[in-house]
Amino acid sequence: MGAKQKVKIHKENEKADEKNKSLLTGESDQEDRVEKEEHPADLEAELDSVRKEAQEAHDRLLRVSADFENYKKRSTREMEDFRKYANESLIKLLLPVVDNLERALDSAGNNRQADNPVSEGVQMTLTEILKIFEKFHVKPIESLEKPFDPGFHQAVMQEENDTHPDKTVLKELQKGYLMHDKLIRPSMVVVSRKKETPENYKDNQQLEKTKGKIDHI
C-alpha cells in the first residue's frame, strides 16, 4: 500500500475518532444538562423537608414553652394559696375556744365588775386571740339583720316576724368566719318568716329544708 493511501486512511480514522468523540461529548453534555436541570428540583424538595422539620420543631418548642409557663403560674398560685391558708386547721381549732370565751363574757353580762380579775382575764385572752385572727386575715361574718345567704349562713330555725323583711337573719346562734375570701365556718342563724299565706308557703317550705344541715368543719 502506498504512503499516500496510508496517510489518507489515517486522516479518515482521525476524523472518525473526532466525530465519535464529539458525539460522546454531546451526550455527556446533555446528561450534565439533565442533571443540572434535575438537581434544583431535588434541592427544593430537600429544602421544603428541612423547612417542615424546622416548623415542627418550632411548634413543639412553643407548646413546651406554653406548658412550662402554665406550670409556673399554677405552681405560683398553689404556693400563694398554701401561704394564705396554711394555718386554716389551727384557726378552726381555735374557733370553739373563741365561742366559749364570748359565751362566758355574755353570761357575765352586766354583772361583770370592772375589777373582776376573772372577767378581765377572759377578755384579755379573747382580745389576744382576735388579734391573731386579724393577723391571719380571719374575720367574723356580719349576719344580724342581713338577708339570708346560703353561701354564708346556715338556717337552723325560723321565726314568724312582721317587723323584718322575709328571710332576714334575726339571731346569730354561732358566728361564722372567713379566712381571706374563703368560708371556714358558716353562721348558724335564725331567719325571719312571714305568717303562712298561699303566696309564701312554697318559699317557706324551701327554706325549711335548710334547717339542721350544719357543716361539721
Question: Does residue 152 contact residue 186 with C-beta atoms inside 8 Å?
Answer: yes
Tens digit of pLDDT for each residue in 116-136? 788 888 899 999 999 999 999
Given this model, what pLDDT does residue 205 score? 58
Tell me what percent of the residues of the chain surpass a pLDDT of 90. Answer: 38
Q: Give the up-direction half-sphere exposure of residue 113: CA atoms within 13 A in the CB hemisphere.
A: 4
Question: What span, in angstroms and rounded, lies between the C-alpha atoms of 138 and 85?
Answer: 10
Mean of per-residue pLDDT scores for the chain: 79
Query: Residue 109: left (phi > 0), alpha (psi -120 to 50), or beta?
Result: left
Of 38-42, 53-57, 78-82, 197-201, the range with the lowest mean pLDDT is 197-201
Pairing of strands 187-193, 169-174: antiparallel
CATH class of 141-217: mainly beta
pLDDT higher for 141 or 82? 141
Given this model, what pLDDT does residue 216 score? 43
Pairing of strands 182-185, 138-140: unpaired
Question: 25 pLDDT band (50/70/90 cuts)?
Answer: low
Given this model, what pLDDT does residue 207 score? 56
